[in-house]
Amino acid sequence: MKAMDAKLDEVALLNLLRQGDEMTFTQLVEQHHASLVRLARLFVHDDAVAEELAQETWLAVLQGLDHFEGRSSLKTWIFTILTNKAKTRSQRENRSFVFSDLDNSAATPTVNSDRFKDSFAERWANHWRADAEPASWESIPEEIILADETFNLIRQTIDQLPENQQAVITLRDIEEISSQEICNILGISETNQRVLLHRARARVRQTLEDYLQLEF
């Protein structure tokens, strides 16, 4: 039912946009503009150019609304336009950007191997060591987990990830775009998307784990 409601809401939104409703378009821009700029920055590494690409994307949205067929969500369509423009700009500037899980980070374990039992010496090989299992956060006050400082730490950690991991975790966990739609937006395979997301989440979780252990 919720999926149907969302679909009906999007149909109503599209109708208003196609009728030239300025307030609706303004609200759409306010909702997604910062995210578009953030995604563009992964490709061009220049704030002014990223802003320009976002502006170009909104112009393309206005020009293409009548041709939008709804085969993806409106949000996914907008992000795809931005990504295609950003890729074109980065190629024009001779800046390579490859979404691959076969980079140097793929050879690095997502979790320190010292946290697992020895594969030769112990019965439960490659299982968590009793003193190294992921800590439960149930006893940590909710206000600490939801504090601005915690969210800032998450954002800083994401900003330090390889660009391909940044893009995937931003689209999946911040923008809440489905895995399949991320594959379409970035032009990557489901396996690639899954590997990149796993590595990004593992890094963020490790950072949070270290921080919360220090606090408690």
The full 3-state SS of 108-157, as one line of letters, equals CCCCCHHHECCCCCCCCCCCECCCCCCCCCCCCCHHHHCCHHHHHHHHHH
Q: What is the pLDDT of residues 121-169, one digit of tens each?
A: 555 555 545 554 555 556 555 555 556 777 788 889 998 999 889 999 9
Residues of the chain with CATH 1.10.1740.10: 2-92
Q: Which residues of the chain have pLDDT under 70?
A: 1-8, 94-147, 213-216
Packing angle between helix 22-44 and helix 74-92, nearest 10 degrees?
40
What's the pLDDT score for residue 9?
86
Exposed / middle / buried, residue 83 (Cβ in 10 Å: 0-12, 13-18, 19+): buried
What's the pLDDT score for residue 205?
87
8 A C-beta contact, residue 38 and residue 170 = yes
What is the end-to-end Cα distance of the chain in Å, rounded?
Answer: 42
What's the pLDDT score for residue 107?
47
104-109+135-215, CATH topology level: Arc Repressor Mutant, subunit A (1.10.10)
What's the pLDDT score for residue 43?
87
Architecture of domain 2-92: Orthogonal Bundle (1.10)
